[in-house]
């Protein structure tokens, strides 16, 4: 697999960042729902939020890298079989997911810095509390954080279902390309490859 994207397929950097961000978002969402149910005397009462915040900051770095890579490198053209409305819907969904991702992380930052303390990232570095002490900052940001996260995960679920539809119903290369396969060259090679008869023993 190539490092950079081509007009026909995604490279290893784009594929890795895509699945890394996707898995991290789902993991953080599950962790967030779980940790809000913890009581003060639970061993994870402080550990859970600390992990959530630290991973969230690292996710922001990965997201910035992904966005930069997307803007600076070529993007594969949609498969020829995609209808115009599908192309527009996919483009709009990607933009909206980026907006939601940054909104979730900004609101999470406002929750964490409401009391003026910096965010510690696993003892490696700290993110300063630039914005703090606003009226109702933690409560308002907390509600926004939750609603945006639910919207983001729901949209990501629809995005995944659309990819599965393209793979199993339309039988095009949409999903395969984001798995690092499915370029036109690979598809042509697969179609030319002779099928192997089952061996009998």
Q: Is the pLDDT of residue 192 over 60?
A: no
Write out the residue range of the structural domain in which residue 39 sits. Answer: 12-182
Concatenating the DSSP letter of every residue in 108-172 gives HHHHHTTTSPPEEETTTEEE---S---TTHHHHHHHHHHHHHHHHHHHHHHHHHHHHHIIIII--
How many domains does the chain contain in total?
A: 1
CATH assignment of the domain containing 92: 1.20.950
**Domain-located, residue 192:** no
**Domain-located, residue 28:** yes
**What is the structure's pLDDT at 183?**
58
Q: Is the pLDDT of residue 158 over 80?
A: yes
**What is the structure's pLDDT at 152?**
98
Q: Is the pLDDT of residue 197 over 80?
A: no
**What is the structure's pLDDT at 151?**
98
Q: Mean pLDDT over residues 32-36, rounded?
A: 95
**Domain-located, residue 5:** no
Question: At 56, is the secondary structure helix, strand, or coil?
Answer: helix
**Domain-located, residue 191:** no
Model's pTM, two decimal places?
Answer: 0.87
- Kindly give, in sequence order, each residue whose CB lies less than 8 Å from that of residue 138, ignoring residues fewer than 6 positions away: 110, 111, 114, 115
**Domain-located, residue 111:** yes
**What is the structure's pLDDT at 81?**
79
Smallest Cα–Cα separation from 151: which of 111, 97, 106, 107? Answer: 97
**Whole-angstrom Cα distance, residue 38 to residue 22?**
25
**What is the structure's pLDDT at 195?**
41
- pLDDT class for 188, splitting at 50, 70, 90? very low
Whether 27 and 36 have beta carbons less than 8 Å apart is answered as no
**Domain-located, residue 134:** yes
Residue 63 or residue 83, greater confidence:
63
Structure tokens at 43: 């061993």
Q: Mean pLDDT over residues 81-107, rounded?
A: 93
Q: Is the pLDDT of residue 103 over 60?
A: yes
**Whole-angstrom Cα distance, residue 155 to residue 98?**
11
Question: At 96, is the secondary structure helix, strand, or coil?
Answer: helix
- Kindly give, in sequence order, each residue whose CB lies less than 8 Å from that of residue 170, ignoring residues fewer than 6 positions away: 81
**What is the structure's pLDDT at 199?**
42
**Domain-located, residue 200:** no
Between 42-51, 56-65, 93-102, 182-191, the lowest mean confidence (pLDDT) is in 182-191
- pLDDT class for 75, splitting at 50, 70, 90? confident
**Domain-located, residue 3:** no
């Amino acid at each position: 697999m190539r490092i950079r994207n081509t007009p026909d397929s995604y490279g290893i950097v784009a594929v890795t960042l895509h699945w890394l961000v996707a898995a991290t978002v789902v993991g953080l969402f599950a962790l967030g729902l779980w940790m809000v149910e913890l009581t003060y005397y639970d061993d994870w009462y402080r550990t859970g939020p600390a992990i959530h915040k630290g991973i969230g900051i690292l996710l922001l770095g990965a997201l910035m890298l992904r966005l930069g890579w997307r803007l600076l490198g070529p993007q594969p053209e949609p498969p020829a079989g995609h209808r115009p409305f599908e192309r527009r819907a996919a483009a709009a969904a990607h933009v909206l997911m980026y907006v939601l991702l940054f909104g979730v992380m900004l609101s999470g930052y406002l929750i964490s810095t409401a009391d003026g303390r910096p965010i510690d990232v696993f003892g490696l570095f700290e993110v300063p509390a630039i914005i703090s002490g606003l009226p109702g900052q933690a409560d308002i940001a907390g509600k926004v954080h939750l609603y945006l996260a639910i919207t983001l995960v729901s949209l990501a679920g629809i995005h995944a279902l659309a990819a599965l539809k393209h793979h199993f119903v339309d039988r095009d290369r949409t999903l395969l390309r984001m798995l690092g396969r499915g370029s036109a060259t690979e598809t042509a090679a697969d179609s030319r490859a002779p099928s192997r008869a089952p061996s009998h023993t």
